Chains A and B, each alone.
Chain A
Amino acid sequence: MTAAALSARGLSKRYGKTAALDAVDLEVGAGELVGLLGPNGAGKSTLVKIACGLVRPTAGEAQVAGAAAGSRVARASTGYLAELFRFPSWAKADEVLALHQRLARSDGGPAEREALLARVGLSGEGGRRMETMSKGMQQRLGIAQALIGSPRLVLLDEPTSALDPGGRRTVRDLLVELREQGVGVLLNSHLLSEIELVCDRVVIIDGGRVVTEGRPQDLTAPGGVEVETSDGVRRLPDARREDVPRIVRELVDGGAEVYGVRVVTGSLEDAYLAAVVGRD
């Protein structure tokens, strides 16, 4: 059986009296895209940093592809883009990737670097220095850097924060490609629409604890049915999709003219707010 890309059990992290994480269980399967949501200070970045070995947990354990998180073996299987991503301003894009190739023991050479740059929309930009690149371009390079050496787990902390809509689309397509290649991805983002579009599963944490998790479609609650008739738009908040034929029939039988029917579903934002704000 293939080990999960990331598996965390009872993961806790305390900074003095503050609990950044409190007994968090989380799993990212091979080829699974998991979105990590939560308000500022919820513990998302701490969780990601423990997974890639930058922060040591106070209790619990995390494994990357079956190896203890932070170990050399685990780090060899991990790609990471930090929320605060920076590369030396004096370095060229190609030099940054070449250094990471060497440290990641990737033998992909120039071909891998060119392919990665093309994958993030930076074809032909390998000779550019960081100081001449926009923040969005640097973020794209950060994503390319995270993919060096074909990692089994990719941890992306706010990967689209500096990207324009085109860049976000590129990243979404890339995430889908990674899923097809069997790479597990933990995507930490505040952009709920992005997560709703691409993630297989969503985990919402608040106050260091997992407050809810599930598939996006399971988390988004039904929001009733809207019917447009000759008398205007009527909203039936408790109605479900299965009720639509009956509702239309009753309205027509009652002499109303029906122009349109829409099944309303809640958004991930609604689910998020219900899970997070509802706890306050």
Chain B
Amino acid sequence: MSDAIAIAGHALREAVRRRVLLVVTLLTAVFLGLFALAAFEAFDSLEQTGGIIPVDERALAGGTLLGLAMFVALFLGVVLAVFLTLDAVRGHAERGLLQPLVVRPVGRTTLLIGRLLAACAVCVPYVVIVFLLAVLITQAAGDFTPSSYFVPAAGLALGVVTVVAISLLGSTVLGTTANGIAVFMVFGTGLAAGLLGQIGDGLKVDALITASSIISWIVPFEALYQNGLHALTSDIGGAAGVIVQLGPFGGASSVGAAIWPYAVAWSAAVMALAALAFGRRDL
């Protein structure tokens, strides 16, 4: 484990020296500023109009804004996860950076675990902090409290871990650009499946709902995201509850407690595949 931590420290130092963390922090601050502006404006507008549609507009605005915050936190976390790992194996091997490390008495699996730890050490706190700051902003702007903090935050955290695992697996077989494209397409497919499920739910088309459900378990970041969205607004009742559960950022759906151990096992299995592929690879 000490070797994995050494590799992780090396990768983290790279992220700092290459100013990845600085750029991410600055751009995230811009996003949160815009989010705060939107939140305060939205709730101010509600207070001025006094409500023009027969639903709980405060809950609708709060739920929608936090749904947006969850979506953006996941998206930015995935971008971070992919760019921190997309060249971990083949990309680094092609540039001659990997071979001197592999020759050391460190297992290739340890090298992969080190890269996993480094990416997770950045991405997991990132998505959790961005989400919780958005919650605080929404509370300050409109006194809106989500139904749950923990489930959405944990879902985001585990969701980016699954994406890190996918990206590391891809890096063992694909070049840098191809891997980046592949992981974003997988991510896009997951999100599209969520939207399809949302459409199926609205139109009551069982085939779409089933397809969406299957895909969200194949790529569990989507199931975790749907689960988090559901937990975020599960206490909102009436028409506002129906609207925010359908959500503009993918359908909210409670997928059950099994998603947690499943996503952990899924990530472990993907990492095991990555270790197998890396172990068999000539460098």
Q: Which residues of A contact B (CB under 8 A)?
A: 49, 52-56, 72-73, 75-76, 78, 80, 82, 84-88, 90-91, 95, 99-100, 102-105, 142, 145
Q: Which residues of B contact A (CB under 8 A)?
A: 2-3, 6, 10, 13-14, 17-18, 95-97, 99-107, 280, 282-283
What residues on A are CB-neighbors of B282 within 8 Å?
Answer: 49, 54-56
Q: How far is the CA of A257 from the CA of B275 in the complex (A)?
A: 78
- With beta carbons under 8 angstroms apart, the residue of B2, B18, B95, B280 that contacts A90 is B18
Cβ–Cβ contact B105 & A82, under 8 A:
no
Q: How far is the CA of A76 from the CA of B96 in the complex (A)?
A: 20
What residues on A are CB-neighbors of B2 within 8 Å?
Answer: 102
Cβ–Cβ contact B106 & A54, under 8 A:
no
Cβ–Cβ contact A82 & B104, under 8 A:
no
Cβ–Cβ contact A72 & B103, under 8 A:
no
Residue of B nearest to A85 (CB): B96
Cβ–Cβ contact A80 & B96, under 8 A:
no
| Top 10 closest pairs, chain A to chain B, by CB | A86-B96, A90-B17, A103-B104, A84-B96, A76-B105, A54-B283, A55-B282, A75-B105, A80-B103, A72-B105
Q: How far is the CA of A109 from the CA of B20 in the complex (A)?
A: 30
Cβ–Cβ contact B105 & A54, under 8 A:
no
Residue of B nearest to A73 (CB): B105
Q: How far is the CA of A119 from the CA of B13 in the complex (A)?
A: 27
Cβ–Cβ contact A103 & B6, under 8 A:
yes
Q: How far is the CA of A84 from the CA of B103 in the complex (A)?
A: 14
Residue of B nearest to A82 (CB): B99
Cβ–Cβ contact A49 & B105, under 8 A:
no
What residues on A are CB-neighbors of B100 within 8 Å?
Answer: 80, 82, 85, 87, 100, 142, 145
Q: List 22 A-B contacts (CB under 8 A).
A: A49-B283, A54-B103, A54-B282, A54-B283, A55-B282, A55-B283, A56-B282, A75-B104, A75-B105, A80-B100, A85-B100, A88-B14, A88-B97, A90-B13, A90-B17, A91-B13, A99-B10, A99-B101, A100-B100, A102-B2, A102-B3, A103-B106
A165 CB to nearest chain B CB (Å) = 25
B234 CB to nearest chain A CB (Å) = 45
What residues on A are CB-neighbors of B97 within 8 Å?
Answer: 86-88
What residues on B are CB-neighbors of A87 within 8 Å?
Answer: 97, 100
What residues on B are CB-neighbors of A72 within 8 Å?
Answer: 105, 107
A53 with B103: in contact, given A82-B96, A87-B97 (CB under 8 Å)?
yes
Residue of A nearest to B11 (CB): A88
What residues on A are CB-neighbors of B101 within 8 Å?
Answer: 99, 103
